[in-house]
A and B are shown apart, each in its own frame.
Chain A
């Protein structure tokens, strides 16, 4: 049974926060870490819950192929790992001795399961506390920045909506005038084209703006993409396609 380092180890948090750039090999581990990072970004999970989740699953799958080499890559070769499993792994050269063997693979780890590690520095606990406070401060900062950003985005969206309303009214007025004057030449241009032109003209300016600018643009674009796709769905549901053509189209035949 491979042993998993205690969940209090900072590496777990660093791994989920993306601060540890370790290329993982175990497929479950790769996918789970990616999921937790994504959920954390969306504020759908707390860091503590994420650590608990990954730790418990790593305990469960500790004997899976490539798991011990991944753990070693994250926690360093000073981690004590014992392998009694039948699964062979390509690289376990740095495996060291352990004192105890885990008996029940799916139970919570007892004290003797905690990885025996020689402390590198005498003030390790202080370092841990320091990191914790820094982490909390950083999280607060991020939350604050996020709120500010959301406010800015809302303002932009509101301003945009108002401008669109005004434009629509003006357009109506103009059409009415044209009708009256018996001039029914359409001056309407599709939104997409106008937008693309804007995007092209902004090409250079985007990279020159402050770090907030791309995010604002991205959020605006997100709204637009949603609107575009809504329109798409409406158009597509009207088209009933022959099944044969549909399948052929799927495979570009």
Chain B
């Protein structure tokens, strides 16, 4: 089964076949689906075969496992984060969908990086959202129970046979700006007042404003070679507060990203290193917006365009892929 956008009738048939599916679509279509082996999240933005697009009529379908494979589905809230992976399989992967703007979203982002079980298997997923101008609330669905939730997230632990292994990769088109100062934060948080900029304490909002820093560019930390973005949500100079789409962490050294000339070109260059048969991929809504990707095609990249990407921990402005390899 190919991962792509399907109309609702086709999704009905796929659900009937019994394989475990990961779905992404607008609430209007997801709420019409029958019970079955599926989990889903709301989003109307996608990268499909031909182009990136907005649709509230179709559903993006990823087959997560065969109907005969072992899997467990559960919903969880912010109190369950510490034990979230306790019942995952010895070999497999976990697929997770979290509703944006909720406590479970921030709790996952803040607590999960310290979870010692986090890297036992790939943990991949995305943050559900809504049409940007709508009054709707992001939701997730547990198809097995036939229920939707605004304040809970859903996770599917999927077992892989011993001859297969899951692997996550990210494509981050941003790089640290060599001219950027080093930025360090005092606490793990989505919001920042003061921080150390080249070892001197500053109000970050004031600093960004005074130095005309482009807030479409993320802050980047180096995780032993991996560039991890934190995107700027809002700079409130009146109150001296900077808000982020993912938390910044104490002890990490961040730098502003270097400007990007052409989003599509950068993606095209970077996706060449990906395995084109990836089982799942998702890209960030900020890349879609800032890169003006609507109507444009990025070769070999498909999937939902999301309000946050999960590759073990919450990421921003990053393309995430899951690959299953035979060993």
Contact = CB atoms under 8 A, between A and B. Distances in A.
Interface string A18-38: 000001110111111111011
B225 A228 contact: no
Interface stretch (B3-11, B32-40, B194-202): B194-202
Most buried by A among B137, B223, B240, B326: B223
Interface in A215-245: 217-218, 221-222, 224-226, 228-229, 232, 243-244
A141 B241 CA distance: 39
A229 B187 contact: yes
Most buried by A among B165, B189, B233, B245: B165
A86 B249 CA distance: 38
A33 B225 CA distance: 10
Given A64-B325, A199-B202, A252 B215 contact: yes
Interface stretch (A39-47, A109-117, A118-126, A129-137): A39-47
Most buried by B among A29, A38, A246: A38
Nearest to A86: B326
Interface residues of B, number: 62
Contact of A251 (B135, B289, B311, B326): B289
A74 to B, nearest CB: 11
Contact of A63 (B118, B170, B224, B325): B325
Contacts of B223: 30-31, 34
Contacts of B120: 57
B165 to A, nearest CB: 6
14 contacts: A1-B327, A23-B225, A65-B167, A85-B327, A86-B325, A221-B186, A224-B186, A225-B185, A229-B189, A232-B191, A244-B133, A247-B134, A249-B234, A250-B245
B169 interface: yes
A226 B327 CA distance: 48
Given A64-B167, A199-B202, A30 B187 contact: no
Contacts of B211: none
Interface of A: 1, 23-25, 27-35, 37-39, 41, 44-45, 53, 57, 60-61, 63-65, 85-87, 105-106, 192, 196, 199, 202-203, 206-207, 214, 217-218, 221-222, 224-226, 228-229, 232, 243-244, 246-253
- Top 9 A-B pairs ranked by shortest CB distance? A30-B226, A222-B186, A225-B186, A34-B223, A24-B225, A199-B201, A32-B119, A23-B225, A30-B224
A214 B198 CA distance: 12
B327 A218 contact: no
Nearest to B196: A218
Contact of B132 (A29, A85, A221, A248): A248
Nearest to A63: B327
Contacts of A24: 224-226
Given A30-B226, A45-B116, A63 B165 contact: yes
Contacts of B187: 222, 225-226, 229
Interface in B167-181: 167-170
Contact of B199 (A44, A207, A253): A207
B84 interface: no
A202 B200 CA distance: 9
Given A34-B224, A225-B187, A225-B194, A253 B132 contact: yes
A225 B193 contact: yes
